[in-house]
Every structure is written in C-alpha cells, then in structure tokens.
C-alpha cells in the first residue's frame, strides 16, 4: 500500500506522466506532442558545465541516427529557458555545432521530481537520467548516472535499437549486441514454456541448451 504523500515514480512498463513545459523550441504537451515516435528524454545537472557540454555535443552528433529510428531527443534541467538559450548559443559559437533538439526549462523542479530525476543525496539539481519512451507513451528503459560520470551515447542508441528489434521480431537481445561474445549479432529465441516446445527447440535452432537458443535476425 502506497504511503500517504509519497509520489509514485514511473517505472518500466508504466505510462509516462503527462506535463506541459516551456522548451527552447516553444511549449510542448508531453507525451502527446511526440505521439507515434520514440523518445529519449534525458536530464542534465546544469547548463554551462563541462561534462554536460560534452554530452550535448555527443547527443547532437548522433541525432540523425536517433531520427532514423523514429526517435526524438529532448533534454531537461532545472535551469531557466534563458540559460538554455544562451548555453546552446555558446555551443554553436565556440564548438561550431547547432543543438537541434529541445531543452525543457524545469525551473520549478516539478517535472524533474515527478520523473524521478532529482535524487536528494546528490543535491537539488537533476542527475543524469535517461528515459526511453515508446510511441504509445510507455516507459521502456531508464538509466541513471551521477553528476561526475558522462553518458555513453552509443549505448543509449543501442538500447533504442535493441528494444525496437525485440518488439518487431519477438526476440530477446544479448549482452553487447550486436557484438555479443557468444552469439555475435544473432538474437535469442524466447525460452519454451512447455515440454514439447522445449524438446523441439534444439532441432529448430542452434543453441547451448533448450532454454538458450538463438537465430539470425530476419531481414
């Protein structure tokens, strides 16, 4: 039973809470604004900080790859929109890169708190949270990093590709896919749930055991 006054934070499989917010691209009504698209919603501790600047640079460099997956990026911090605008102007002028994705100005901290992006033991700024949300507004994956550790954008991109692949082909994705140490770029067939299917598994697929079989990804 949920304690009175305790906010339930979104978990994997939950519908993401809706909210309206000011961004560097104007007001949005989330997640309806992105209906039909995948979204990577990520928070950063603060504008005009070195690690966050490297992350924004890296996210923008990969933005086209995310968009090829029908996936949009949207950032968030507790800074005001004026700070966001000045920061991305600085990035353009000094690093010769235009940040194309919107940044939410959550200066009240309400959205960040609702999404579990503020962790009291790490201060009042947002941690480096990443939420992967599907086209129906369902939270599919979430990652948290401390202020001192910058994110690996390739891993976030891999996660989106992996979840989409799992959905499309009804398979599971191995560690380090598509460069898994045991099965390379192949995918895992879901384990059998009855004796007859288990008996046939090793006849139908390559594998290590009836509960661990794999196949080539369909083209």
Task: Encode pLDDT of 170-209 as tens digits.
Answer: 999 999 999 999 999 999 999 899 999 999 998 999 999 9
Q: Residue 3 pLDDT > 90, yes or no?
A: no
DSSP state letter for 71: E
Coil vs helix vs strand at 107 = coil
Please give the span between the terminal C-alpha atoms of the chain, in angstroms, as a whole number: 47
Spell out the domains of the chain, with CATH numbers in brackets: 19-151 (3.40.30.10), 170-219 (3.30.1020.10)
Span 98-138, pLDDT tens digits: 999 999 999 999 999 999 999 988 888 999 999 999 999 99
As a whole number, mean pLDDT of residues 153-161 equals 98
Task: Please give the Cα distance from 168 to 133 (Å, whole number).
Answer: 16
Q: Which of 21, 52, 91, 171 is catalytic?
A: 52
Task: Please give the Cα distance from 131 to 140 (Å, whole number).
Answer: 8
pLDDT of residue 60: 98
**pLDDT category of residue 2 using cuts at 50, 70 and 90:** very low
Phi, psi for 28 (deg, rounded to 5): -130, 155
Task: Please give the Cα distance from 91 to 84 (Å, whole number).
Answer: 11
**pLDDT category of residue 53 using cuts at 50, 70 and 90:** very high
**pLDDT category of residue 1 using cuts at 50, 70 and 90:** very low
Q: Which residues neighbour 64 within 8 Å (Cβ) at sequence distance 6 or greater?
A: none
pTM of structure: 0.93
Is residue 71 annotated as part of the catalytic site, yes or no?
no
């Amino acid at each position: 039973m949920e304690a009175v006054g305790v906010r339930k934070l979104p978990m994997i499989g939950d519908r993401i809470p809706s909210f309206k917010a000011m961004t560097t691209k104007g007001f949005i009504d989330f997640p309806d604004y992105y209906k039909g698209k995948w979204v990577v919603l990520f928070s950063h501790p603060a504008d005009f900080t070195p690690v966050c600047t490297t992350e924004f640079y890296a996210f923008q460099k990969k933005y086209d790859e995310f968009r090829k997956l029908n996936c949009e990026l949207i950032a968030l911090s507790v800074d005001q929109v004026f700070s966001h605008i000045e920061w991305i102007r600085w990035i353009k002028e000094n690093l010769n890169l235009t940040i194309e994705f919107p940044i939410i100005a959550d200066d009240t901290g309400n959205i960040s708190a609702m999404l579990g992006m503020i962790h009291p033991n790490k201060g009042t700024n947002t941690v480096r949270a990443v939420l992967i949300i599907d086209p129906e507004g369902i939270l599919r994956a979430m990652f948290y990093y401390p202020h001192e550790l910058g994110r690996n954008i390739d891993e976030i991109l891999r996660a989106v590709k992996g979840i989409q692949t799992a959905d499309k082909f009804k398979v599971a994705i191995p560690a380090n896919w598509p460069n898994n140490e045991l099965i390379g770029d192949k995918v895992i067939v879901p384990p059998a749930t009855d004796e007859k299917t288990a008996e046939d598994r090793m006849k139908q697929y390559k594998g290590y055991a009836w509960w661990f079989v794999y196949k080539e990804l369909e083209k």
